[in-house]
Amino acid sequence: MTIDSLPQHAPHPFFAVTDDQLMIDDRSIADIARQVGMTPFYVYARTHLRERVEQLRKVLPSEVHLHYAIKANPSPAVVQFLAPLVDGLDVASAREMQVALDAGMAADLISFAGPGKKPEELARAVAAGVTLNVESELELERLAQIARDGGGRARVAIRVNPSFELKTSGMKMGGGPKQFGIDAESVPQVLQRLRDMPLEFVGFHIFSGSQSLRAESIVEAQQKAVAQAIELARATPAPVQMLNIGGGFGIPYFPGEQPLDLAPIGRNLRELVATTRAQLPQAQLMLELGRYIVGEAGLYICRIVDRKVSRGQVFLITDGGLHHHLSASGNFGQVLRKNYPVVIANRVRGAQREVASVVGPLCTPLDLLADKVELARAEVGDLVAVLQSGAYGFTASPLAFLSHPPPGEVLV
C-alpha cells in the first residue's frame, strides 16, 4: 500500500499542532504526560468540552434544554465540569445517579433510564427524587409499590419505543421490537393504568437511535418524536411537563465520515419549539447528548514500547491497547473494523512518514489500535494519540483483560 492511497480522516475540530506537537490549549501532550506521570492515559480537555456546549447553544434554540448523558463518560471530573454548563443529566445506573448528584445537579433535572432497573435501584432513585424513565409496566408497578410502602412518590416519564427508527444511525434504539421502553401503541393503555397508581406523571422519553451523522435523519426523527408525543399526550393523566426527544448526534470516527451539520437541526428545533408550545404548552423540550459533547474532547495516549518490522510491515507496539480502548480496536459494535484517527503526539507530521500498525501489549491479534495508517516515523518512547476518544473509552473497555494496570484519566 502506498502512502498516497491511504484514506484520510475528517479534520479535527479541536486539537491544534504547534511545533509538530499535538496540543491541548498551550500545553503539549508530552508535557501533560509528564504531569500524569504514567502512560497510558485518557485526557479530556475543559476548553473543548466548553466549546462544544457553546457551539450547541449557539445553534439550538434556547428553549430546548440540553442534557448530558453521562454514560458516554462518567468520569466525576468531567461530570462536575459539565454539570453547570448543561440543563440536566441523564443516568443509566444507580452509580451514575450518585455521580450526577455528587456533581451538584438538582435531582429533578436528572433522568434515570435503562431496561431492567432492579427494585433496589428504583427505590434509590425515588428516594433521591430523580425522574424515572419507565421502561415497562412491571417497572411502573414496582414504583407504585415503593410509594405504597412509604418509599416516596416517583416522578415518572414513560419511555416510548417509537413506531419509527432513526435512519442512518450507528445504533437503532427504537422502532420494531426492542427491549427499550413501552411500545408506542401500548402507551395509552399503560397511561390508563397509571391514573390509579400513586405516581407523578411528568412526560415522555422517546429515543430512536444514536451516532447519526445525517442531519436530515435526526430532523426527521425529532419531528416524529414530537408528533408521537402529541398523539400520546391525549391519554396522559396530567399535562406533559418534559419531553425528552433523545440525542443521536454522531461524531466522525472513520475515513470518509463528515461532521454532523447542526444548522438544519437547529432550524427544525425552532419549529418544534413552536409546535410544542401550541400543542403541549407545559412541556419542556429536551435533548440528551452524550458522545456528541465529550467524544471529540478526549484523547487516549499511550507510549511506544517497541518498534518491530515483521515481514515488511512496521508495528509500533505500545503500552496501551484494546483493554483500555476497546472501541478503537474495532471490537465494540463494529462489523467491519476501521481505524480511529491516530497521530504520533510528539511528532505529528515528523521528518519522515511511513505506514505502520499500532498495536498493544496483549497476546491477541485483536489488540490493534491502528491498522496500516500513515504516521510520522516513530521511535520507542514516542507518544501515540488516539483521537475521538472522549466517549465510550475508559468505561467501555475490558480494563482487567490480561491483568495489565488500568490507564490514567485526567481533565486538563
User: Residues in the site for its own copies, rule: CB under 8 A?
Assistant: 71, 74, 92-93, 95-96, 99, 113-118, 135-136, 138-139, 161, 171-173, 176-180, 183, 305-308, 310-313, 315, 317-319, 326, 331-333, 335-336, 357, 359-367, 380, 394-405
Nearer to its own copies, 109 or 358 (CB): 358
In what helix (H) or strand (E) does residue 183 lie, and over which residues does it extend?
strand 182-183
Cβ proximity of 406 and 360 under 8 Å: no
CB of 90 to its own copies, least distance (A): 9
Rounded CA-CA distance 350/380 in Å is 14
CB of 66 to its own copies, least distance (A): 18
Nearer to its own copies, 27 or 307 (CB): 307
Cβ proximity of 82 and 109 under 8 Å: no
Nearest to 74 by CA among 99, 48, 53, 101: 99
Rounded CA-CA distance 252/365 in Å is 25
Across the strands, what pairs with 285?
243
CB of 174 to its own copies, least distance (A): 10
Nearer to its own copies, 92 or 385 (CB): 92
Nearer to its own copies, 10 or 77 (CB): 77
Nearer to its own copies, 105 or 280 (CB): 105
Lookup: cell for 49: 468540552
CB of 402 to its own copies, least distance (A): 5
Main-chain dihedrals φ then ψ at residue 174, nearest 5 degrees: -155, 165
CB of 116 to its own copies, least distance (A): 3
Rounded CA-CA distance 113/158 in Å is 10
| Residue 28, CA atoms < 13 Å, CB-side half-sphere | 16
Nearer to its own copies, 37 or 177 (CB): 177
CB of 25 to its own copies, least distance (A): 28
Nearer to its own copies, 18 or 313 (CB): 313
Nearer to its own copies, 122 or 272 (CB): 122
Cβ proximity of 382 and 304 under 8 Å: yes
CB of 409 to its own copies, least distance (A): 11
Cα torsion for 133, 73, 98, 159, to the nearest 10°?
0
Rounded CA-CA distance 244/241 in Å is 10
Nearest to 207 by CA among 297, 294, 90, 128: 90
Please report the DSSP string for 169-213 in residue order: EEEE-SSSS-SSSEEGGGHHHHHHHHTTSS-EEEEEEE--EEEE-
Nearer to its own copies, 162 or 341 (CB): 162
Pairing of strands 21-24, 16-18: antiparallel
CB of 302 to its own copies, least distance (A): 10
Nearer to its own copies, 7 or 405 (CB): 405
Lookup: cell for 347: 511528532
* 3-class DSSP state of 267: helix
C-alpha dihedral sign at 349, 292, 262, 54: negative
CB of 12 to its own copies, least distance (A): 26
Please identify which residue in the block is written with the cell numbers 498495536. Answer: 359
CB of 202 to its own copies, least distance (A): 19
